[in-house]
A and B are shown apart, each in its own frame.
Chain A
Amino acid sequence: MFGGLREKLKAARQRLGGSIEAAAAKAETEEKAVPKAGSPATPSAPAKGPVTSTATPSFVEKVRVLITERELIVSEKDVDEALSELEMTLLESDVALPATDAIIASVEKNLVGRHRKIGESVDALVVNALKVALLDVLGSGFNLKEYIMTHERPVKILFTGVNGTGKTTTVAKIGSYLKKEGFTVVIGAGDTYRAGAIEQISVHAERIGIKVIQHQEGADPSAVLFDAVQYAQSHKLDVVLADTAGRFHNKANLMSQLEKIKRVMKPDLVVYVDEAVAGNDAVTRAFEFDKTVGADAVILTKADMDSRGGAAISIAHTIGKPLMFLGVGQAYDDILPFEPAKVVDELLDSGA
């Protein structure tokens, strides 16, 4: 997942580290050339590793001395170029501009300045700055299990989004996930518009062993979903998953239908579903949907086919709504709760 972005971040991280090391080495050389009054004429020996008594210290040794024994001072100028490259890397990976700006500002804030006795490598310093920046823009995620456990049941979840992004399959995957977690679930077949949608969700529901409430094709989706809620209440079920027809935010009649659905079924959560491969388009569409009908969380499908990762990185920061799940394949189990720390560790190869 997001292999392309991972490679690019690796290169950006090396570039940043290289810039800091070069600046540190330069500072060391200058310090030696102009010794301060009262300071010893000879440089202090490195604290760790073998001491080379005769030869001039190597580049790496100089840097090691600087960052383990003294303080490392990084100026804006030192990392300016490397940060510009990081900015390009993020934009090329389809990370939205506001998210890119936030990442760059955070990395700069964490790198520029004095680092006293850090006792760690420059790379670790850079990785940490990137980690903090990415975690900031990724937000805290959304723990659906916890949400269900702490709210009055049945928890009603309405799924919305544009056509062809895998919404119905996602509803089935989440049904399967929740069932495995021990919750009782009913699915409302609210996509009464698309030919075959009711059969599609019924087939899924049958395979995963979940009850589906359905009317005939062309029926009022509000009525179907109202029935699904009634069913859940009378059977004391934990969750109602409400599928709806795909629609674009600029189709007024379909959007007012969604408003009606919201009025009738009163969802606890409105979840926007789009595909990760759509990149920045997914972010823009999520923003528009949120403005029109509101959204509490986002699910991105087909993340396994997305090497750039732009949508996943920027969506939470850009629309201010957390990412809940990532769809990563065709099987029912191919859905991952979005855990920012894990994603960041994977992107920076810094996991345990």
Chain B
Amino acid sequence: MDQNELMTLQNYLQEYGQQAEIFVQQLQMLENGRLEAHAAIESLEEMLAADGGAVLLQIGGGASVRAKVVEPEKVLIAIGSEVIVERSNKDAIDFLKERIMEMEASQKKVAETLDRLRAQMNEINKRIESGYQQAMAAGQNPG
């Protein structure tokens, strides 16, 4: 394997690495969305269970206040396309569960793509290593 070929493989590796980075970011975004939806479901269920009593409302920075939700049965929820609709507590939970399923399906697809990319990167890495070893054995300077 000559130096040009090694350089090309290094470039391929870099290109795949950049693509993989983008997919990792996407996976993280999906995971954040999924966890947020789970937290929202938990809050909605707790609000109903509180039955008019006070619930803890997080206001950021680790601070919480006790709050009474005026209408725990009615939830305003963003359904997409910047549209917010009023739904019953149960319908909002169903909607969020459906969103979680969608996000999990997307996560699966992104993870599959990422796995394929990583397998290709491993393959390229192996070829680069073997190229280096050949060059070393032949007494060349691979760099």
Contact = CB atoms under 8 A, between A and B. Distances in A.
Contacts of A304: 109
B18 interface: yes
A92 B95 contact: yes
A266 to B, nearest CB: 30
B14 interface: yes
A269 interface: no
A310 interface: yes
Main DSSP-derived SS at the A contact region: helix
Interface string A91-113: 11111110010000000000000
Contact of B109 (A92, A199, A305, A308): A305
Nearest to B98: A92
Interface string A155-174: 00000000010100100000
B80 A203 contact: no
Contacts of B79: 88, 91-92
B141 interface: no
Interface string B1-28: 0000000100110110011001001100
Interface in B77-99: 79-83, 85, 95
A204 B19 CA distance: 13
Given A92-B95, A203-B8, A169 B19 contact: yes
A200 interface: yes
Interface string B59-91: 000000000000000000001111101000000
Interface string B97-121: 0000010011001100100110000
A206 B79 CA distance: 45
B27 to A, nearest CB: 11
Nearest to A206: B8
A200 B15 contact: yes
Given A169-B19, A277-B26, A305-B110, A94 B11 contact: no
